[in-house]
Amino acid sequence: MDFSPIIIGTMRWGIWGANHSKKEVQNLIQSSLEQKLSTFDHADIYGNYTTEKLFGNAFSEMNLKREEVQFISKCGIEMPCDNRNFSVKSYNYSKEHLLKSVDQSLANLKTDYLDLLLLHRPSPLMNPEEIAESFSILKTQHKVRHFGVSNFSPSQFDLINNAFPLITNQVEVSLNEPKAFYDGTLDQMIMKQLKPMAYSVLGNYFSENTEENKRIKKVLTVLCEKYNVEENQILLAFILKHPAQIYPIIGTSRAENLVKFKNSLSIDLEREDWFKLLEAKTNIEVD
């Protein structure tokens, strides 16, 4: 399954962030496609279960071909909010819930299939055989083309993958949060010849004034001048350097940032520069 080299995240397009109008969403979709970024990442819970519908209403009026874009969505979290009467936040991977969730996402997005469905977070109660049965039904009904997981450990990935073939694990990866470099998550994707997806790729660099980020800024200042780019582009290039061929998810709600992120694809950080950034994050030399 081919996705665009950068995936567009929609989590903050609705009431969880920018609170865009339908027209503003259409402008973002159009701007993304102009940069040949055609994959859009959703989850049923985004915007308290409203952002998928916002996107679907916007996309359906744009006279675009569905086969030229890719829709990803996630399900499995039951989140109490004004739009859902759950008594506690929990995970539900029962066959009934999975089938119902996909049908709702299809209705929200005004499409008859998802290119990729992800289990949003691992549950201690998930039954791999029941999940596999649900996936088989969705595949046979042509409602979902491919399946994956999000935030799963390597062993949790194997638990589901042994029952039904998965194509990706979407996890948090950034200079601020490089855990996936060391815990086997990305190693597993390489071994299985699968491409992972990464969210929060800019970390907390722009939101938190920590000592760690002050160290990172010193290195970024030098590298931005060296490569003639901006800080967010270097942070993205740091992720793209990894041999796992990561699909980064960019959660921007501003069209002008799309060009900058697209240009990050052409930045090839030198190996020593990559390790200078890593050392700034950890504040220690590698062993």
Domain of 150, CATH number, reads 3.20.20.100
- Could you say which of 46, 49, 93, 247 is catalytic? 46
Query: Cβ neighbours of residue 209 under 8 Å, at least 6 residues apart?
Result: none
255 inside domain: no
Quick one: how far is CA 131 from the chain centroid?
A: 21
pLDDT at res. 191: 99
pLDDT at res. 220: 99
pLDDT at res. 139: 99
287 inside domain: no
49 in active site: no
- Predicted TM-score (pTM) of the model is 0.97
75 inside domain: yes
Confidence of residue 162 (pLDDT cuts 50, 70, 90): very high
Query: Cβ neighbours of residue 167 under 8 Å, at least 6 residues apart?
Result: 1, 116, 146, 147, 148, 194, 195
269 inside domain: no
Confidence of residue 280 (pLDDT cuts 50, 70, 90): very high
- pLDDT at residue 13 greater than cutoff 80: yes
122 inside domain: yes
pLDDT at res. 256: 85
d(CA 23, CA 27): 6
Number of domains in the chain: 1
25 inside domain: yes
- Please calculate the CA angle 72-129-93 and round it to the nearest 5 degrees: 50
Confidence of residue 272 (pLDDT cuts 50, 70, 90): very high
80 inside domain: yes
- pLDDT at residue 168 greater than cutoff 90: yes
d(CA 263, CA 70): 21
- The proportion of the chain whose per-residue pLDDT surpasses 90, expressed as a percent, equals 96
Q: Residue 84 forms beta bridges with which residues? A: 81
- pLDDT at residue 214 greater than cutoff 90: yes
For residue 17, the enclosing domain spans: 7-167
223 inside domain: no
